Amino acid sequence: MVKLNNWQVGLLIVFTVAVFFRFWKLSDFPVSLSMDEVSIGNNAYSILKTGRDEWGMKLPLYFKSVGDYKPPVNVYLTILPIFLFGLSEFSVRFVSALVGAMTSVIIVLLLREMGFRKSTALFGGFWVAINPWHVHFSRASFEAVTALFFVILGLLIFLKGIRRKSHYLLGFGGVLLSISMWTYHAERLFTPVLVLFLLVNYRQKLKFIFEKRKKLLIVVGWNLLLLAPLLYVSLFTPAIKTRALSTSILRDQSLVKNLHNGEYLSFGEFVFDNDVYLIFRHFLGKYLNYYDLRFWFWDGLGMTPKGYPGMGLFYTVDLVIILVGIRRLFVDKKLQHKKLMFFWFFVGPVSAALTMNEQHSLRALIWLPVFVFTASLGFEFLTKRRRVYFGILVAGVLYFGDMYFRQYPFYYSEYWQYGHKDIALWICENKENFNEIIVTDTFGSEAPINTGIPYAYVLFYCKEDPLAFFENGRKIKGVSFRRVDWKNDSTRQNTALIGSRWDINPNDVHPEKLVKVTKFKNGKEAFVYTETN
């Protein structure tokens, strides 16, 4: 029987809580696989079966997927759970959930390494284990969660390397940080700046690395081995460029309409209204928006429509400890690694602010560690009021649970492509009975404003042979994916039509030909299944 000391028991509890929050009903919530998740699953399955992605590329360094050029790490990591558990929702979400749970433990170790007390470090891990922001994104296959894990682990090993004066630990930390750049887009900007900061900030302590040149060359070599292909992908393939351009702040219409594109009407315009200033100002607005307390504590996760009770990135009760923690960060002169925390506080949301959307909680996930630091600093201050904190926290957890498992699916099931699994399973069963099945790729409960990739769901749930799919020109035999043109398509022979209610009005369909009508979680009609003669 292995005997565990208090510290190890604490770590085990943190991990268990984190696992519970991430794995409970993992297959059912979120209510459907998102487009990204199903693409990750398909590509991982395809690699497992054929060694190629869905476009036929052999062991690619990036996944073209639906033209969004996914970073490779999550896809490759998902191969193992698919091998172990088969192609299912659980397998696709397994990596994020596990890595998310492990992040809580790594946070504990990082806080210890940064000089926090044991109890505070354990609290930090527990705080991440139940944090709505991290739990929410860990429960779906979001690359940002995996990337954050690698950044935190990399930083931990790096700081250990400095303390122990170990070349290999430093090198390994660098490798992990490099992997984070392969994992999510935001880290491609954040991690290099973080590394630069670490090298400058800890330059005195890093002097030892030059004492043994051979070791230095080896660890630099490891990192170059990982970074050289990334440079190649960035410079000579469309992968990173395409993704960057599609989400860049420079595509934001509210900015584009004000830009002069270098053509100024007067010198005054050139001086006071030049494009550089306009772009910077636009970025600044997005950046400062991340420092909004309402976003942090009240409605940042956007789980309900605007104006409804919502969910912030943190529990409301965290307001006190985070603000106290930030105050300590600025005021406490004895704090270790203070500059690192400052750096994270101000640089964390930069990469998210360089993209089109306002207050994007997923892209800003890399900012999370600074709140762990500050919440932990604030927790130390609580002392006698800890019971009150935990009491209110219980209410917060109940509220989050209700938001996550009841309100969020109700209001946003269609944005999670709810109904596509049903379509795919129906096609798997009935494909042989029809000459053709036509499936819409456009849908929505209020208007046909959502676009989906139903083919990916058919590939996933029917476990179509990936080789046959790309040899067939990326088509599934007997199934077409386009909007249903009711007037013409309803005259086709022996065809099944699956359209949104905007394409097919159930009242126009002969009752005998109406197979079924599915609904979104909010009770509104989603898809209409019909047969022709």
Partner 1 sequence: MRGLNKWLWKNKVFVSLLLVSAGWWSVVLRPGVLIEEWKGMPANLMSKVGAVFNDDKMARVFELRHVDLNHKGELFYISKFLYNKSWLVGDEFFSGLSYLSPRFYFQSGDGGQLSPSGVGPLVFLLFPFWVSGIFQVVKNKNRGTVFLMVMMGTFLVGKHNMAFLFLLMICNLYFSSKGLTLIKQAPLKKGLLILIIGVSIYEGGRALWLS
Which residues contact partner 1 by CB under 8 A?
268, 271-273, 277, 281, 284-285, 288-289, 291-294, 297-298, 304, 307-309, 316, 326-327, 330-331, 345-346, 398-399, 402, 406-407, 409-410, 521, 523
What is the chain's length? 533
43 in Cβ contact with 70 (< 8 Å): yes
Q: How far is the CB of 234 from partner 1 (least distance, A)?
A: 30
CA distance 314 to 370: 13
Q: In the complex with partner 1, which residue's Cβ is closer, 208 or 270?
A: 270
Q: How far is the CB of 310 from partner 1 (least distance, A)?
A: 9
Tell me, what DSSP letter sits at residue 365? Answer: G
Q: In the complex with partner 1, which residue's Cβ is closer, 58 or 384?
A: 384
Q: In the complex with partner 1, which residue's Cβ is closer, 109 or 377?
A: 377
Q: In the complex with partner 1, which residue's Cβ is closer, 163 or 406?
A: 406
Q: How far is the CB of 284 from partner 1 (least distance, A)?
A: 5
Residue 386: is it exposed, middle or buried by C-beta count within 10 angstroms (0-12/13-18/19+)?
A: exposed
Helix-helix angle 143-164:185-201, to 10 degrees: 10
Q: In the complex with partner 1, which residue's Cβ is closer, 26 or 44?
A: 26
CA distance 187 to 367: 11
239 in Cβ contact with 233 (< 8 Å): yes
Q: In the complex with partner 1, which residue's Cβ is closer, 311 or 496?
A: 311
Contacts of 76 (CB under 8 A, 6+ apart): 44, 47
CA distance 285 to 358: 9
Q: Please list the residues that pair with 398 across neighbouring strands.
A: none
355 in Cβ contact with 249 (< 8 Å): yes
DSSP-assigned letters across all residues of 188-217: HHHHHHHHHHHHHHTTTGGGGGGT-HHHHH
Q: In the complex with partner 1, which residue's Cβ is closer, 100 or 310?
A: 310
Q: How far is the CB of 274 from partner 1 (least distance, A)?
A: 10
Q: How far is the CB of 280 from partner 1 (least distance, A)?
A: 9
Order of all β-strands in the sheet with 514-519 = 479-481, 436-439, 495-500, 525-531, 514-519
Query: Contacts for 228-235 with beta carbons within 8 Å, 24 or more apart?
Result: 229/61, 230/178, 230/181, 230/182, 230/188, 232/61, 233/61, 233/62
Angstrom distances, CA of residue 332 to CA of 90, 325, 337, 380: 45, 10, 12, 13
Which residue in this structure is represented by tokens 């900061």?
197
Q: In the complex with partner 1, which residue's Cβ is closer, 361 or 407?
A: 407
Write out the two tokens for 321. 């400890």
Continuous segment of H or E residues that includes residue 260: none
Q: How far is the CB of 327 from partner 1 (least distance, A)?
A: 4
Q: In the complex with partner 1, which residue's Cβ is closer, 244 or 397?
A: 397
Q: How far is the CB of 266 from partner 1 (least distance, A)?
A: 10
Q: How far is the CB of 35 from partner 1 (least distance, A)?
A: 22
CA distance 437 to 489: 10
Which residue in this structure is represented by tokens 């494909």?
431
Beta strand 495-500 with 436-439: parallel, antiparallel or unpaired?
A: parallel
Q: In the complex with partner 1, which residue's Cβ is closer, 1 or 331?
A: 331
Q: What proportions of the chain, in percent to the nearest 5, are helix, strand and coil?
A: 65, 5, 30
Q: In the complex with partner 1, which residue's Cβ is closer, 118 or 406?
A: 406
Q: In the complex with partner 1, which residue's Cβ is closer, 300 or 466?
A: 300
Q: How far is the CB of 272 from partner 1 (least distance, A)?
A: 4
CA distance 100 to 107: 11
